[in-house]
Structure formats: C-alpha cells, structure tokens
Amino acid sequence: MNKLLSSLLLFIVTTSVSAFDQARLDAYLTSLEENNKAMLSVAITKDGKPVYQRAIGYADTASETKANPDTLYRIGSITKVFTSVMIFQLIDEGKLSLTTPLAQFYPDVKNASDITIAMLLSHRSGIHNFTNVPDYVEYMTQPKTKQDMLSIIENMDSDFPPGSQASYSNSGYVLLGYILEDVTGDSYANQLKQRITSKLGLQHTVFGEPIQVQLNHANSYSFKASWTPATLTDMSIPHAAGAISATPTDVAVFLSHLFEGKLLSATSLAKMKEINQGYGHGLFQFPFFERKAYGHTGGIDGFSSQSAYFESDDVAVVLTANGLNYPLNDISIGVLSLYFGIPFKVPDLSIRAITLAEELLISYQGVFASNAMPIKITLKVTDGQLTAQATGQPALPLTPFSSAEFRFEPGGIIISFEQTEDGINYDKFLLKQGGGTYSFNKE
C-alpha cells in the first residue's frame, strides 16, 4: 500500500534488443534465492499469454512450504489499478462522471464539495494520507469498519486546496472503493469478480482475504539474519487502496487485457494514462531505456510488488515479493534487461555480511552532512547494531560487509567510509543510492 515509486526502471537510452535469455534469468533468480536475497514470483506475458513464470523462496517458512507460480501475494497498491478500472467502468456506464463531487457521497470529508472523482483517482484531492499519520501503526493490525475508516479520514485536515497539486493518498482510494460499493449496492469483492476476474478468467485474484497457507497464499517476511514473519495489516483498512492478493501472472494478464481495450472504452483508458505531476488516473508511467511502461507499484507489510506494461511490445512484467533482502527495483532492472536482451551484469550475490564488535561500531557514530543534499545522517549504535537515520526519516539498520562498507540492502543504500594508509577515516563516507554518489562529512 505504500508508495514505492522512485527509481523503478532507471535508464532512458537507446539500445538494441536480442532474444530472451531465459537460462540467464533462471540463474539470476536462483542466485537471489540461494543467497537469501529475495522470496518472490515473476511473470512475463506477451500478447496476453504467459511466456515466463518462476517463483523462488517460501510461501511459508514455518512449514517450509515452497512458493510456486500459483501462489498468491498481497499486491498492495497495485490494487489501485483494479479500483480505477472499476470506477471508469461506472463512468462508461453513465453512473458516475469524472466531475462528480465527493460531497454527493461523503460530505463530511474536508473540502468534499470541491473534490471530484478525477481528483481522487489522480491523487489531487488534498485528502491527507492516513497511513502517514503516526497513530496508524497502533491500529493497522486491527479490523476497522467502514464507519471507523470514514471517521479517520473525515477528522484529518486537508493538505492543500483540491486540484492545486498532487500528493499520494491511500485515503482517496479507500473512498473510491466505498463509492463503488455505494453506486452498485454491492461489495467490492463481488464487483471485482463480476467486472474483472470472471470476465478475464483470472482464477488467482482475491480481495480482502486473510492469508491462508493451505490455499497457497504467501506469508509476509523481513530479513533479520533469517526470514522473520512481518506484521500483517488487517485488510479492512487498505480496502480499495491495497487489499487484493494475486499471482503476478493474473496481474500481467489483467494489464494486457486492460490495454487491449477489453475492460474500458478508449476514452477512459486514455484518461487513466494521462499523467500530471507524476500521476495518472490509477497508473504511473515508467521509463526503461527507449521504452515506456504503464503500471503501478505496491508495498504492504513485508510484501513488495512492481507491475509494468509495455504497449509497444504488448509485454507485461510483474514481480510480487513476500520477503526482500535486496532492492526489488534492482531485481526488476535485471529481469527486464534479461528479457529485452539488454546488456546486464549479474551481480555477485555471494559476498557475505560480516560481524563487527560493538566497541568498534561506536567509532562510526556521529552526525554527517553533505553539500549535495539538505539532509543530515545520524549514525548511532543501537542494541549492538549501527543504524543510519536521515533527517525526518526512521532509523535504518546497517549491515557491515567490511570494516569500511555498510549496507541497507532493501533500500539499495551503501555507505562506504574513506580508507587511508592509516586505516578507516571515521569522519567521511560516500553514500550510494539510486545511481547517485554523495559525499558526507562528520560535523
């Protein structure tokens, strides 16, 4: 459900394409699995038909149940694409319009009379994102009724005048799900079946269900020396913003049929793709070399997902993960490069973390600043582990790979201290993330 869009599908250059090297992709995913870097499933479709499916890792570590291509993962905010499609179907049917005011349904939301369906779809409503409120973590695991969630949303202040700018809001999509139910007089789950999954023959897509390993659902994990169960959000909370579970193949087939015009009018599909300040009406746009893809990302608890549809090739690529110890963005770049025949050096994932004594870790502590960015980074030892905390952000655990290099692999962050003839310079390090390198010095 979290917004993970940042550096997905990084580069925009021109290159030639050669044949899909499936053996190398298999080897890459095997390396990720063997080195405890990821537990995930990958699906690639061409012309709406699967051409590659592979799952690695466990659906459930306690029972040692291996994941397979039919394992369901919580896809987080990719749910928003399904929600948007169903709202546009109501628009195509004349039951809603993009200019319908929110006040027609929920007048007690701040600025409801000035907020339209279009603004909710494109994150331009100004409604504050409830998952950003500090007390969210206190109730996220507990069931909430529709009235509970409406009260939470109605009691938040607006971030900006409706339509004046864009800011990601799970709140807006929860409201869109409620509007879907109000207009149809039916549940979101039933509408999903009638409008999308039954129509497309998607047998591995469900809404709002608890995780059931016996039904081939994946559990959620983080990596702390080993795979550790993650906290699970109750699905009554994300609702239309993030409560769908699916296989990556189902998501890929859904995207293919959507762009082939099987779910919406051409006018509505064009509106979904209309990008303003980074947001479409339910879609993002990603560059990958000379190509452009439409899709969405998703993250909830230990689950992370990325989906992309390349119109020029009629190719959809979807990754759904239930545990990561390596940046999913980097994995996506590898998968796409190997599929499209773009040069890609498979990383050596066998390099292992090391352990440093707490008395040595203390030497790295301090507050560091950079001329290249306005943030400061505080390094501090907590419970025997070095952590890094950027201004206004939570502390991240750093793993040592040498006496000079520390990493936070889920975020693709590498901190490298300067090495001199006399040893480590604890007053200076380079921060590497997202293709950038930034120099930091101790204050």
Kindly tell me if the per-residue pLDDT of 341 is higher than 60: yes
Lowest mean pLDDT among 225-239, 300-314, 400-414: 400-414
To the nearest 10°, report the CA torsion of 78, 278, 408, 37: 40
In Å, how far are 387, 389, 405, 443 from 371, measured between CA atoms? 22, 17, 21, 12
Tokens of 313: 């090739």
Q: What CATH number is given for 358-442 in this structure? A: 2.40.128.50
Residue 231: pLDDT above 60?
yes
Q: Pick from 252, 273, 338, 279: which is nearest to 25 by CA?
A: 338
Supply the pLDDT for residue 152.
98
* Coil, strand or helix at 139: helix
pLDDT classification of 13: cutoffs 50, 70, 90: very low
- State the pLDDT at residue 19: 63
Rg (CA), the chain: 22
Structure tokens at 207: 């809404």
Average pLDDT of span 94-121? 98
pLDDT value, residue 379: 97
Torsion, Cα of 279, 281, 282, 285 (10° steps):
-40
Cα separation of 210 and 76, whole Å?
14
CA distance 243 to 234: 9
Closest among 185, 106, 208 to 153, alpha carbons compared: 106
What is the three-class DSSP state of 189?
A: helix
Average pLDDT over residues 230-250: 97
pLDDT band at 434; cut points 50, 70, 90: low
pLDDT score for 413? 87
Lowest average pLDDT, out of 98-112, 191-205, 380-394, goes to 380-394
Cα separation of 438 and 419, whole Å? Answer: 16
Question: 77-86, 331-340, 352-361: lowest mean pLDDT where?
Answer: 352-361
pLDDT of 327 over the 90 cut: no
At 80, which helix (H) or strand (E)?
A: helix 79-92
The count of C-alpha atoms lying within 13 angstroms of the C-alpha of 443, restricted to the half-sphere facing its C-beta, is: 11
| Domain extent listing, the chain | 22-340, 358-442
Q: Is a pLDDT exceeding 50 seen at residue 15?
A: no
pLDDT level of residue 94 (50, 70, 90 thresholds) = very high
- Nearest Cα residue to 57 out of 29, 25, 21, 24: 29
> What pLDDT score does 263 carry?
98
Query: What pLDDT was estimated at residue 348?
Result: 82
> Quick one: which of 272, 254, 262, 346 has its CA closest to 308?
254
Q: Is the pLDDT of residue 6 over 60?
A: no
CATH of domain 22-340: 3.40.710.10
Report the pLDDT value the prediction gives residue 326, as an integer from 0 to 100.
87
Task: Please provide the size of the chain in residues.
Answer: 443
Instruction: Tally DSSP H helices, then E strands, for the chain.
Output: 12, 22
Cα–Cα distance, 320 to 328 (Å, whole number): 9
Q: Please, what is the average pLDDT of the chain?
A: 93
Report the pLDDT value the prediction gives residue 205, as an integer from 0 to 100: 98
Residue 314 has pLDDT above 50, yes or no: yes
Confidence of residue 14 (pLDDT cuts 50, 70, 90): very low
- Spatial neighbors of 338 by CB under 8 A, at least 6 apart, are 20, 21, 24, 25, 28, 344
Place of tokens 């905010």: 77
Q: What is the pLDDT of residues 31-53, one digit of tens each?
A: 999 999 999 999 999 999 999 99
Which pLDDT belongs to residue 330? 85
- Name the amino acid, one letter, at 226: S
For residue 297, what are the CA distances in angstroms to 7, 80, 217?
11, 10, 20
Neighbour count for residue 105 (Cβ, 10 Å):
17
Query: Do 20 and 301 contact (CB within 8 A), yes or no?
Result: no
Q: Which tokens belong to 287?
A: 């560059």
The predicted model scores a pTM of: 0.82
Structure tokens given for 419: 């090495």
Mean pLDDT of 60-69: 98
pLDDT, mean of residues 133-149 = 96
Report which of residues 330 and 50 the model is more confident about.
Answer: 50
* Residue 258 CB coordination number (10 Å): 25
Determine the Cα–Cα distance for residues 361 and 222; give it in Å rounded to an integer. 23
